Each structure stands twice: as C-alpha cells, then as structure tokens.
Structure 1
Amino acid sequence: MDIFDIEDFDSLVYNVIKINLISGGKNVYRLFNTHNVRRVREAEGLWDFRTENGKYDGKLTVPSCWEMIPTLASYKGKAEYRRSFTLGGNVRLVFKGVSHTARVYVDGDFVSEHYNAYTEFHTDLSLSYGEHEIKVEVDNSYSEASALHVENDYYTYGGIIRPLLIEELGDGVINYVHFTTKQTSDGWSATVITEIESLSQEDATYTLRYTLDGKTYTEKNIAVPAGECVTVCREYTFDGVKDYSIEAPNLYTLCAELCCGEMVVDDLIDRVAFREIRVDGKKLLLNGKPLRLLGFNRHEDYNSLGSSVPLQAMMRDIALMKDAGANGIRTCHYPNDELFLDLCDEMGLFVWEEAHARGLEEKQMRNPNFLPQSLNCIDEMITYHYNHPSIFCWGILNECSSETEYGRYCYRTLFDRIISLDSSRPRTFASNKHFRDICFDLEEIVSANFYPGWYDFADLKAPDLMTKSLMEYAEKHESGNKPFIISEIGAGAIYGYRSETRCKWSEERQAEILDEQLSAVLANEDVTGVFIWQFADVRVDESWFSSRPKSMNNKGIVDTYRRKKLAFEVVKRHFCVK
C-alpha cells in the first residue's frame, strides 16, 4: 500500500493544499493562519548573498542552507544576506531559525543578535515609511563563543534555514497566549496566560477577547503602561469539548483579540487541544489512560537540502513513520521547526521536544556561555512551542555529563528553568552514563540510550538484561518508581550494502540486531516507550569520520533520500503488533 493512501492523511493533505493556495504557493510557516488583524508577510525569495572569504557573491534563497551551493558544501564561516523592503511604523522581524549566530542590521544600524540555529527570535523596530535594507550576518563556525554548536554527530548547517517574517504592528501587541488544560470530574478547564506589550509612549487600557469552539470569553479594563508588558492569567471551564488522543487528535482554534475601545488592534490565533499528560508511578498517562510510545529519533536533515526542510519533505517523513507504526517522535537534539510540530499535532504523533545539546563533557559544560545559551534555548523553545498538544515532555542535555557533580548542577539548573515556565509536562533527559548516572532523581521520566549488539558485540539477549538492570539501578537511586523510556536503541547500515556474512554496516546485520533488540525490550511491560535511533541517515561533522562511514550517521531505517532499508519492515512488524 502506498503510504499516502493512509486514511489519516486525507485531512492533512487537504490542509496543506489549502494553505498553499492561500499563500499563493509561497513558503509555508504554519499550517493555519496565525493572524487576521496583524499584517504578516514572508521575506522569502532571493536575497543578495556573499561569504566573508569571497568564495561566493550572488543570490541565495531564504529559507535554505548555503551548503546547497556546490562551492559552499562544507563552508564554515561568516556570510551576509541583504535585501530591501518597503516598511514603516512598528515593524517586527521574526526569524524562525538562523544557523547558528545572527547579527541583524537595518539601514546599516545594528539592531539585534541571536545564538542558536533552532529557536525563534524577533526584533521590534520603529521605522519611517519607505525603503529599508535588512542585512543579516550569519556565522556557523565553531569557537569558544559557541557552547552548543560544536563538532558533533550531526551537522551544523549555515544560513537563514527557517522562514523570516515581517509583521506590521499597532501600539498594542499580543506576544503569546499559553493554554494549559486540566481534566476535571465533569469535563475540562484551562488556564490561559496572555502577554500584552505596549509599543506606545502612552498608557492604554485594553479589552482581551478569546474565542474557542463558538464561545467568547472577555476580560476588560486591562491597563498596560507605556513601553511595558503585562501578563493576564484567567481560568475557564469548557463543556462538550472532545479529548485529544493518538486515535482522535481533536484540535480547536483559539483566537485572542486585543481591543482598544471598539477597535481590534491585534490578534493571535493558535491551535490547542484538551489533553492532560501526567506521571503515575511507572505509568505515563494521557487523559488518565496509560500511554506507551513507539517512535523514532529524527534529525532535521534531508539529503542536499540540509536542515532547511520544506513542508512536502516533512509530510513524507511523517507518512513513513506512521507507515512503520510509530506514534512518537523525539526531536534530537534541538527544538524543531514549528511547522513540523503542527503536522505532529494534526496526526496525533507525540513529541519529546529537546533543548539543544548533545554529548558535552564537563569541560565543555564549564564554558561560560554554556548555561546562558542553554537557558535561552529553553526559554525560546517553551515560549513559542507551549501550545502544541503533541509535545508530551521537555528534554535536555542528551548524553552530557550527568555522572559528575558539576553536571548535576547544570541538569538541576535547566530543569528548574523548565519548571518555572511549564509544570504541566514531565521532564527527562537521555542518559548514556547508565550505572554511573547521578541525575535520575531530577527527572520525572527516566530515559537511557544503549545499543546492545552494535557497539559492544554482546550476546543479543543482552537488551532484556540491560533494560532490567538499568531500571533497577534507576529505581534504587531516584527514591521511587518512574516511567522508563529507551530513548535510543538501534544499529547502523549503509543503504544498498548487502552481505552474506551479515557483517557490520550491512542491511542484514542492522535488521537482525533491531529484531533482537525490539523483541527483548518490547516484551517488558514496564518499558513506557522506545525511540529507535534513528529514522533517517544524517550528515555528521567530518571530525567523526573514523566511526561514521561516508561522514554519515547511518543508523537510519531509511537513508538520507528516504529509501527504505531492510530494517524498515522489521520495525514495522514490531510496532504494528496490536
């Protein structure tokens, strides 16, 4: 059966076609309109582009990775983008992702700087009406200034890799609306937190109006001092709404309108859902019912496109993962494009979203920039992705130094920041320190990465013993039972390489190991979830060449072009067991 014949995709394909028609076939940054009042345009298309070293001076599309240009396929360094637009009044430039450091100038004046390829940022401007030049200096090189983007088991591409939006604002602005649901004995309630910002030089009084499921909720007399932000927190009850689940991912449109007198001066539209995630002993519960997750680790990397992945390619990935029986995705090892999260919301694929960091030793975590950059990543990830019902947990610090006291201090610091921003979702991290880990008590879900039969050549019955031993160790050192997720497990294969000896890197060897691994770990009913490493092969930094044939992490069950390996059907057989 063709994967796009899956019944679930009918509404998804319809929505994608509709939004493409509305946008005139331009790049899509969300699956739905986020504003009716606020004017938003995308700054996509060709920009003037040149590299600092002079290797390229011409045009480049936004969004994209500069590695798509043959002469820049491995370029690490600085480059600049330039383009002029007709603008005026209060203007907000919204960058969905620039890899990895951006310095923004308007008409030659520096206006903002941002670090981290995978989180959104914006800058507000007050401009006279006319033509204005936007210049963005981008740097994807490694240095002491960059604590998170380091030589790693995935590649740091360069460029404006996600959409860039130009928003025209009034004097009052809705910055965000956070919608937190709670299941009650007779239905659902929700806490709604809204941040309103004044861009005016005068104090103002506003009315805030929410609309959801045909009902309107109004909050009057909200005083906002000139140039300041005010947070409004209210709780409402909702009758007759449908739960959100894997089988029925029911979504609702929440429209927030900011009114001054009778005039609507700003709005913000988002999709929300009624679902509650909580931990009860060893169980992860969705709306009070046990949830078991079967999924994949997925990098944002698509053959020659790099980390600037278009909507159609995202759909292809989700279709393949759904076809393999997955109900979960881990965004290794950074926050994902919000458009991909929209697709997961629509399809009922539950997401472990992870703040950026992988494999950092204590020395790297002592970099003075590490904690500030990590905290900022968490702030932006949660602020902008809060309402996605598909996100079931927040993750941090994959395979970092969770066996040291300083590492523990860092884990605690980052978890504390998450709790301050969102206490409604459980927290976790993927550990490879196993029986040396001293941070299991800090998280609500214990997660471990291990690769029996691949890295250690152990007896393939070892996955069961390894799982049991790790669960016992975690239980002993965390002062209580918790859900246990195998956050990485798998083996590697080079697509098309077949071997009668079933040697390492052959498709036969990968399929055999995954079959043995999944047979063992899925038989343990106390395993709350399994995320296979990984969905698709990805490019890695060349410093990893000795253990990564072709400078690729080849553990995908599909290759970088999404061609299926033998392991695909093995995983599907295990995941699709009812």
Structure 2
Amino acid sequence: MHRTFETTTERRQRTLDGQWEFLTDPGNEGYEADYGESFPTEEADRLSVPSSWNAHREYADYVGPAWYRRTFETRAEGSQLFTFHGVARDATVYLDGEEIASHEGSYTPFTGLARNLDAGEHELVVRADNTRREATLPHDDADWFPHGGIHREVVVERVPDVYVRNLAVDYDLYGDEATVAAEVTLHNVGPRPAEPDLTVSVGDASVTDSVEVDGMDAATATLALDVEDVDRWTPDDPMLYDVEARLHGERAEREGGAFVDDLRDRIGFRTVSTGGREILVNGEPVDIAGVNRHEDHPEWGSAQPLRVQERDLDLIRRAGCNAVRCSHYPNHPRFLDLCDEAGVLVVEEIPLWQVDESTMVSTQERAQRTLLEAIERDRHHPSIFAWSLSNECANDEATVVEGTRKLKWTADGVDGSRLITVASNSDWEGETDGVFEFCDFLSVNAYWGWYRDGDWGEFLDGIEADYGEKPIVVTEFGAGAVPGDRTHEGRKWSESYQADLLADCVDLFRERESVAGFTVWQFCDTLTDPDRAMTRPRTRNNKGVLDEYRRPKEAYRVLRDRLTDE
C-alpha cells in the first residue's frame, strides 16, 4: 500500500508490485529498436518492483537507461488510471505499444490514463534512466547515490466516466473553528456532458453541490464548509481529520444506472509562523531537534518498505528528535504519513543542490515544476511546516537569488500556509547570502571542526548581525565516523571524534537564544555519489549517527542522552 490509509473506497485499486522483466540498455538502443512495442523478452532478467536496480548485486553500479515489462489483466472494459509514485530519474511509459506518459524527476508522481481499455491481457513497458547531467535535477555532481528504477509503487485504478482527479484543501482557523475551501477537479473521460453531485466532507462536516463538466474535458469546483470544535494538530497531540471528495451521478442512457467515485486524504488543522527568533506552531514556540534523512538502505536502496520507514522513525524519536529534514528531495508520502501520525515536524526540500548562476537558468523550469509537484502531492501533510527551495546554492550570485525568488513566489502562490527557507552554506564559504532576505527562517549549513577549524559562536554571531531578527536553524553540521573505529585520542573518522563534536554543537545550539533548532547531518550512513567514492571510506557518506544498517554509533547515544530522560 502506497499510503498508511485507503485513498479510495469506491475504485478498484491495485498495485503492480512484484516481478517485472528487466533489461539494461547501455547503448541506448531501445528507442530505435522500439522496445516500447516489441520488448526483447528473451534477453531480459527479472527484477522486483518497487526497487532500486542498484540494490541488486548484478546492477549495483549501473547508471543509464533500462527497460521494464509486465503484463496484467482487466476483467471488464473501462478506463484505467496508472499512477507511478516514483521512477528514477527519467521515465517513459507504454501501454500496449502506445506511449501514455512521460516524466522527469525521481521523487514526485505522474499519471497516465487509458480510456475504455478492453477486457483481457495488456502489456506495460517502462523506460527509466538514472543518468544525471549538468542541467538535470539533481545535477551530475549531486552528493548522493543515483539510484535507478521504479522505486516507488505503481498503482492502477479503474475509474468511471467522471472521476475525481484532484483534491486540494485550504483552511483558515478562527479559534476552534475552521473555514475550509476544497478545490476539486473532475475529469470526464466520456463523450457526453455530465452534471454529477459532489460532496466534500471533513470529519463530520460536509457540503454538496452539482458540477457541470463537458465531455472529454475537466472542470474544477470550490466548495466551502465550516468545521466546528476543531482539535488542532500539535506535535504532542497530532489530531488528523479524514477528508473525502465523493462523486455521484447518472451514467449515459445506453449504460444505465449510477456511478460513484471518491478520493480520500487526511489533514491536520494547525498554524505555522515565526515570532522574533522562534518558530511557532499554533502560536506556541517549538524547539527543532532533528536529523537529515536520505532514502537509502543497503538492502533496499531508495525503495524502502513500510517496516523500514517505521523503524527509521522509531529510531529518530527514540533519540529524542522531533523533526526530520528530507534531504534533499521529497521523501515517500507514506513516511510523511507516519510523521503526521507521530507529530514529527518535517522540512521538505526539492533537489536544487549546489547550483550556481551558470546552471540556474537551465534548471529553473525543472525546479519550478518539481516544487509544484511536491506541493500538490504533500500539501495536506500537517507535519510539513516548511518548504526548502534549495541546498547550498551560490546564493551570493544575482541569477541564483532571482531564480530562488521566483521559486518562493511559486510556493506562496500555491500554498501560503507554510514557512519558506533555503539551506545555505554561503556564510560558511565566506560569502553573503542574498536569498536569506526573503526566507522566513535561516537554515544554516556549516562543518566547523570537520572540514575546517573555526568557532561556532563567532560564526552564529555573524549570522545574527547580518540578517536581522529571524529564527536560525542549523540544518547541517557533524563529522564522519567509520563504524567501530574508536580511539582514546579522539582522532578524525573515529566514533569518538564524531560524538565529541556532536555533543559540543548540540549543547551550544540549545543554549543559544537565536537558534530555534538543528538537524544533525545525518540520520544514517548512505551511499555516496560514485565519483566521490574514492575519497570516502566504505564508499559512503559516513556522517550518520547510525550506520547504514541502523546500528548506533557513539554519536547516537550522545544525542539521545541530551534530548531524552533515558
């Protein structure tokens, strides 16, 4: 299941998990040979979906295009909606030899619709390519492993002639009452116009209206309703409300009867703001204490099953942490569901990583599209309190500043309910950050004591003086440690050195009034970019407080000792 709850009660929904035929294409011959229509089955291996192909020994280091194929059956004629929740990185989808969808980006979903698909057996072929280039998002120098493949679920739903394509809920809070505006998009795949009844419900409150939608067209309606006696979502009491858009209408005369469709999600009512140096949830200050989390596992790669996600979150909370920074891309929506349920705060980021003015122009459109897709997918998660627009870009350069400003306008135009930030190392690099001017809080990355010597106190003094009275969150800090390497002298790359540095930093940040919180780099050791593998022990970014199998280093215990009563 791709979420922790059912997203529909009316549609016949299934995932295409399991074994697919698989074939790498290092020479990029598949297009010319028309693999989409004539897949070379006799040459293919078999690979599990969802998975990262790099998590399979035979393809551990493969970067390039590859092809997947499987068949499936439909029992009756009807329209089928295919949702691919994550394909790394470029994807093209063919159904019975015809292209039905294409998408660029590993971490956001895309759909393909097959109208009036005949009953019987059908063939699905997917081309995926995990190659990174200078103008891709992320680009070819990004500092995490380029996992490839269909690494999140493929969901197939049979939809009626008129179905709910999208549901977007906004609200305003007035004490214990919420005024809700639900924007619902209906899609009519049939030739005849329709005027179905649409009901939107939030908890026990509901409203109904009829919506006109022409044949082979879409229509969007906004329904308003009030929710009384609201229990607000808080980190200590993460109250969630079911939201549903339900459709009911008459079928065409030749078919007779009625059709029903629904789309379900969850929301939590809360406000997020800043006051002085504090981040506020429902007007109350929160101290951010968290970790950065990549989707990476030795056995699963970037395709993590529910149990791994549950275990990760449990370990994060056992350390006393109340926050996660999704570095450097939107994490699986099911992990965000778990954060919603647990009251764990989340910063979600897009993979605009270390871009300078020479590449900002070429990546601007991709970044904007990725940001929109992330917000549209995740706007209902109450755990997400901030959108992070970039990480460690050249924010002293005018082109980067203006490009990032446009991303802020995009985010504000779609969702004004969350804070905006960027993760910046400009000051650590000796430059002035031009993006901090329009950030709600200052996300600072620096590695004093690891990559270079320096004084954290003096560094934070400068941040406070240069950018006005805004909350500061230290979003990256830490040190590498090879698991099991412990020295009396506390030498670099030892667990002892990492633990001591982490302890000093956490103590300083918690005592400093200007610092609203921190997120340790990082949760666990992760595979590094292949080009950096020779410069890092074990071919990994070893700054995790846990190793890649989630076994604790000394730093994990240091963090837990400071943040819990255990």
Structure 1 pair 490–437 and aligned structure 2 pair: CA distance change class (3 A): same
Q: Report if the CA contact (8 A) 1:429-1:443 is conserved.
A: yes
Q: SS of the residue aligned with 1:424?
A: coil
Which deviates the most, 87-96 or 382-391? 87-96
Percent identical: 33
- Equivalent in the alignment of 2:477: 489
Shift of residue 359 of structure 1? 1.7
Q: 263, 275, 278: which is aligned to 1:280? A: 275
Q: Distance in 2 between matches of 1:60 and 1:307?
A: 15
Work out the CA distance in 1 between the residues paired with 2:464 and 2:166: 39
The offset of 1:263, in angstroms, is: 4.0
Alignment of 1:342-421 (within 5 A): 342-367=337-362, 370-421=363-414
SS for the counterpart of 2:552 is coil
Code of the residue aligned with 1:532 in structure 2: it is V
Question: Partner residue of 2:39?
Answer: none
Which of 459, 471, 477 aligns to 1:466? It is 459
Residues 162, 190 of structure 2: 8 Å contact kept: yes
Contact 2:349 2:389 in 1 (8 A): yes
Task: Supply the AA of the counterpart residue of 1:155.
Answer: F
1:533 to 517, 521, 524: 521
2:34 maps to none
What amino acid maps onto 1:448 in structure 2? V
In the aligned structure 2, how far is the partner of 1:359 from the partner of 1:577? 38
- Match 2:286 to one of 281, 286, 291: 291
Moved beyond 6 Å, runs of 4+ = none
Deviation at 1:577, TM superposition (A): 6.6
Q: Give the distance between the partners of 1:280 and 1:197, measured in 2 at CA.
A: 43
Match of residue 120, structure 1, among 109, 113, 132:
109
Aligned to 1:446: 442
**1:213 Cα deviation (Å)?**
2.7
Cα distance, 1:450 vs structure 2: 0.9
- Higher deviation after alignment, 86-95 or 143-152: 143-152
Cα separation, 1, equivalents of 2:69 and 2:189: 27
Distance in 2 (CA, whole Å) between partners of 1:500 and 1:186 is 57
Cα distance change, pair 252–227 in 1 and its aligned pair in 2 (3 A): same
Q: Which amino acid counterpart does residue 465 of structure 2 have in structure 1?
A: E
- Equivalent position to 1:49, from 22, 33, 43: 22
Question: Does 1:311 find its partner at 2:299?
Answer: no
The one of 495, 509, 517 equivalent to 1:507 is 495
SS at match of 1:353: strand
Give the secondary structure class of the aligned counterpart of 2:220. strand
The whole-number CA distance in structure 2 between the counterparts of 1:150 and 1:576 is: 40
Cα deviation code 1:490-543 (max 9, x no counterpart): 111111111222111000000000111111111012211211111111001121
**Structure 1 residues 251-291: Cα deviation after superposition (integer angstroms, max 9, x where no partner):** 11112201215945210111111111122333221111112
Q: TM-score, normalised by structure 1?
A: 0.90
Contact map agreement 1:179 1:190 (CA 8 A) in 2? yes
The reply to whether residue 33 of structure 1 matches residue 6 of structure 2 is: yes
Structure 1's 443 and 258: CA in aligned 2 closer, same or farther, altered over 3 A? Answer: same
* Residues 182 and 200, structure 2, Cα contact 8 Å, conserved in 1: no
The equivalent of 1:455 in structure 2 is: 451
Query: Secondary structure, in 3 states, of the residue corresponding to 2:338?
Result: helix
- Per-residue deviation, residues 368-410 of structure 1 (Å, max 9, x unmatched): xx12211111111111111111111111110112110010121
Q: Is 1:252 equivalent to 2:241 in the alignment?
A: yes
Q: CA deviation at 1:179?
A: 2.2
2:59 aligned residue: 72
Q: Is the 8 A contact 2:4 2:334 kept in 1?
A: yes
SS of 1:271 mapped into structure 2: strand
Q: Which letter maps to 1:254?
A: V
Residue number in structure 1 paired with 2:215:
226
| SS at 2:394 equivalent | coil
Per-residue CA deviations over 1:111-141 (Å, capped at 9, x if unaligned) read 2211111111111111222221100011112
Cα distance, 1:210 vs structure 2: 2.0
Alpha-carbon shift at residue 71 of structure 1 (Å)? 1.9
- Counterpart secondary structure, 1:112: strand
In the alignment, is the contact (CA less than 8 A) between 1:448 and 1:487 conserved in 2? yes
Aligned position for 2:253: none
Structure 2 SS opposite 1:512: helix
> For 1:497 and 1:530, how far apart are their aligned partners in 2?
26
TM-score normalized by the length of structure 2? 0.92
Check the 8 A contact 2:387/2:419 in 1, yes or no: yes
1:560 has 2:548 as partner: yes
Aligned residues: 540
Q: Structure 1 stretches of 5 or more lacking a match?
A: 1-27, 476-480
One-letter code aligned to 1:260: G
* Kept after mapping to 2: 8 A contact 1:182/1:275: no
Unaligned runs of 5+ in 2: 28-41, 251-256
d(CA) in 1 for partners of 2:460 and 2:562? 18
Could you tell me how far apart the structure 1 residues matched to 2:356 and 2:536 are?
20
Amino acid at match of 1:329: V
User: Which residue of 420, 430, 436 maps to 2:432?
Assistant: 436
Contact 2:200 2:223 in 1 (8 A): no
Q: Distance in 2 between matches of 1:210 and 1:80?
A: 41
Structure 1: distance between partners of 2:515 and 2:259 = 50
Which stretch shifts more, 248-257 or 464-473? 464-473
**Contact in 2 for aligned 1:467/1:521 (Cα 8 Å):** no
2:220 and 2:390 mapped to 1: Cα distance?
30
Displacement of 1:145 in angstroms is 5.9
Partner of 1:102: 91
Offset at residue 91 of structure 1 (A): 1.1
Q: Report if the CA contact (8 A) 1:536-1:560 is conserved.
A: yes
Please say which of residues 280-289 and 78-87 is displaced more in the overlay: 280-289
The corresponding residue for 1:62 is 49
- How many angstroms apart in 2 are the aligned matches of 1:263 and 1:471? 63
- Greater shift, 168-177 or 348-357, is seen at 168-177
Is 2:197 the partner of 1:207?
yes
Aligned partners of 1:116 and 1:149 also within 8 Å: no
3-state secondary structure, aligned to 1:456: coil
Residue 162 of structure 1 aligns with an amino acid whose one-letter code is R
Residue aligned with 2:211, SS:
strand
Aligned to 1:3: none
Contact 2:202-2:227 at 8 Å conserved across structures = no
CA distance in 1, matches of 2:298, 2:445: 26
168-177 or 75-84, which deviates more: 168-177
Mapped partners of 1:148, 1:466: distance in 2: 29
CA distances 1:166-188 after superposition (whole Å, capped 9, x unpaired): 11111112122222232213533
Tell me if the contact between 1:152 and 1:540 (Cα under 8 Å) persists in the aligned partners: no
Moved more, 292-301 or 222-231: 222-231
Amino acid at match of 1:128: D
Alignment of 1:98-247 (within 5 A): 98-126=87-115, 127-144=117-134, 146-218=136-208, 220-247=209-236
1:330 match: secondary structure: strand
Shift in Å at residue 557 of structure 1? Answer: 0.3
List per-residue Cα deviations over 1:463-484 (Å, max 9, x = no partner): 2222222122121xxxxx3222
Alignment partners' CA distance in 2, 1:524 and 1:229:
53
- What is the one-letter code of the residue matched to 2:154? L
| Whole-Å separation in 2 of the counterparts to 1:516 and 1:120 | 41
Q: Is the 8 A contact 2:523 2:546 kept in 1?
A: yes
Counterpart AA for 2:474: I
- After superposition, what is the alpha-carbon deviation per residue over 1:434-468, rounded to whole angstroms, capped at 9, x for unaligned? 2421111122122111112111123xxx2222222
